[in-house]
Amino acid sequence: MTDAAGYGLDHLPYGVFSTPERDPRVGVRFEDSVLDLAAATGRPEFAQPSLNAFIALGADEWAETRAALPALIETGAHRHPLDEVTLHLPIEVGDYVDFYASEQHASNVGRMFRPDQEPLLPNWKHLPVGYHGRSGTVVASGTDIIRPCGQRKAPTEDAPSYGPSRRLDIEAELGFVVGVGTKLGERVSTGAFKDHTFGVVGLNDWSARDIQAWEYVPLGPFLGKSFATSISNWITPLAALDNAWTDLPGQDPEPLDYLAVGERAGLDITVEVVLNGVVVSRPPYASMYWAPAQMLAHTTVNGASVRTGDLWGSGTISGSEPDQRGSFLELSWGGKEPFLVDGVERTFLEDGDEVTLRYTARGTSGGTITLGEVTGRILPAT
């Protein structure tokens, strides 16, 4: 069942949909219907199979269009029932960068893999750590995920072997979509974050932990991450999150000047991790150490350009409590402490498992908005 109440006039997320009679085009969700913006406005940027042409127009155009939506919806014209449309990937993804912005997640991973060292590496509290991912394998919610194959070597094994991942995992994240790009050599300050960022999506960074553990030293994630990243069909515009901004939990030491942010630089968004219909975790995005504006500023501080449709992930969202961990790696503490799902002990993903990530936040009218959820089902390796 869909939560129509979370998709009222204070939300109005954008997506791409098609019908048997119409090719993919841009729409806006209102309750359990989709408004066909191409038909309602006649604007050519909405008669496209992605949002890129529209979001490239910039913040003034985003605001004007959003202000006009309630009147278009009120007419009742050009609206399609949600259950009669097909949803698609909402953007043509340019580049994809994934960060590591949760102190709790980074500390948990450090304790598991470096038990005799400090959980956080020396650079972690000085800059938002990230890696460049693979944009071509970003897929829309509802896409099945084929279990990846690759090299893996357990600590007890003498040599690596090839085969399906034995430790397939999720990472509950929030994704951010670039609307207005930059030129090579141009930097985006933390204060210019909203000028360049169109909105947010739910994001699941599927991870093959055994492949990742064997390959990641010394250059970081590669095949353990690049096989698939799922995002929601709906992009929530930043304007819908005006009431969700909150203070960061605190940064010590104080970041360098180019990473400086003021109050209300974090987001209060609640996440639910659902495995086969059972909620197994509720990670709070408000606990994230690094702010979205700091991630974008750090991405461009060396002069690297960003493009319309670029996507960056927050990294796994994990809170301080065991039931707030955003990955099965943490929930099962590396597979050593299984967690229960309907009385059954679980560690990593099994073939046939379905995972859904759900997101809610405070809306501008004082209620709760429901961000686009992300679902994926695991198929056997081929």
Catalytic residues: 105
| Pairing mode of beta strands 269-275, 278-281 | antiparallel
The CA distance from 311 to 197, in Å, is 10
Residue 67 token pair: 């202000």
Burial of 3 (0-12, 13-18, 19+ CB in 10 A): middle
The CA distance from 162 to 148, in Å, is 11
Residues whose CB falls within 8 Å of the CB of residue 325, separated by 6 or more in sequence, listed in order: 104, 105, 108, 281, 283, 318, 319, 331
β-bridge mates for residue 369, sequence order: 361
The CA distance from 100 to 295, in Å, is 10
Closest by CA to 199, choosing from 294, 89, 3, 59, is 59
The CA distance from 380 to 382, in Å, is 6
How does DSSP classify residue 1?
-
SS3 205: coil
The CA distance from 140 to 138, in Å, is 7
SS3 362: strand
Query: For the CA atoms of 286, 289, 295, 297, what is the dihedral angle to 10 degrees?
Result: 110
Alpha helical stretches, state H, the chain: 37-41, 52-55, 59-74, 103-113, 193-196, 209-215, 223-226, 292-300, 328-331
Give CA 25 to chain center in angstroms: 22
Instruction: Please state, as a whole number, how many other Cβ atoms lie within 10 Å of the Cβ of residue 268.
Output: 18
